Chain A
Amino acid sequence: AQTVTQSQPEMSVQEAETVTLSCTYDTSESDYYLFWYKQPPSRQMILVIRQEAYKQQNATENRFSVNFQKAAKSFSLKISDSQLGDAAMYFCALLPGNTPLVFGKGTRLSVIA
């Protein structure tokens, strides 16, 4: 079975500080993809970052970066210089081969001014 676990239902961070959201997953596939999506109150799921499992280098997108630990099946998201607009639900998702995308239950991030 493919599973994604986000152990932090809620997190908060001061504006301009750094926060890390945790995600662990389980899959028997050797080739898979991992994603972080952001869902603001508008409900629109927005892609934040994507990581291919075969790549050892951690993906980065501006203020967003991941710590991908394949052996530990861990895929955490680091947000640097947090901004008020970063406040949202964040979902970790696993695409294990030719099967449906599997989502965690999300982490609600609050940014304190």
Chain B
Amino acid sequence: GAGVSQSPSNKVTEKGKDVELRCDPISGHTALYWYRQSLGQGLEFLIYFQGNSAPDKSGLPSDRFSAERTGGSVSTLTIQRTQQEDSAVYLCASSSRQGRTDTQYFGPGTRLTVL
């Protein structure tokens, strides 16, 4: 596709439920990132995938958060047993080069609301 796409655009869930957020990176991009943007805050790094290397999970806030990337393309971020503090916009980005020095291009995000 022309850009990074994310689905759903908005997700409302009840506390304790699991949610899955999807990211389709730009075709050919080898690097994929997940960020979280809480209200009034900047972006917080969650996880980074680069090709077939083991992902950098250093930003995941708890073991309720996990992510996978299938076939080096689409990625799914899963939040188990959601809590109200998980409410935020989840942004995905991709970049084309090895390493992290190339420009990251962002998707439109998924707004998650946990009631």
Contacts and interface: CB of A to CB of B under 8 A. Distances in A.
A83 B27 CA distance: 32
A97 B101 CA distance: 7
A106 B42 contact: yes
Given A43-B89, A43-B111, A45-B93, A100 B45 contact: yes
A91 B100 contact: no
B23 interface: no
Contact of A103 (B42, B103, B111): B42
Given A43-B108, A43-B109, A44-B108, A99 B89 contact: no
A101 B108 contact: no
B89 A100 contact: no
A105 to B, nearest CB: 5
Nearest to A102: B45
Contacts of A75: none
A95 B41 contact: no
Contact of B91 (A4, A45, A99, A100): A45
Contacts of B109: 43-44
A33 B101 contact: yes
A42 B10 CA distance: 12
Contacts of B56: 100
Given A91-B42, A100-B48, A45 B106 contact: yes
A37 B43 CA distance: 11
A98 B50 CA distance: 12
Interface string A8-43: 000000000000000000000000010101000011
8 contacts: A43-B111, A44-B109, A45-B91, A45-B93, A100-B45, A101-B33, A105-B42, A106-B42
Given A101-B33, A106-B42, 20 more contacts: A33-B101, A35-B103, A42-B108, A43-B89, A43-B111, A44-B106, A44-B107, A44-B109, A50-B103, A91-B42, A95-B100, A95-B101, A99-B100, A100-B33, A100-B48, A100-B56, A100-B58, A101-B45, A103-B44, A105-B42
Interface of A: 4, 33, 35, 37, 42-47, 50, 91, 93, 95, 97-106
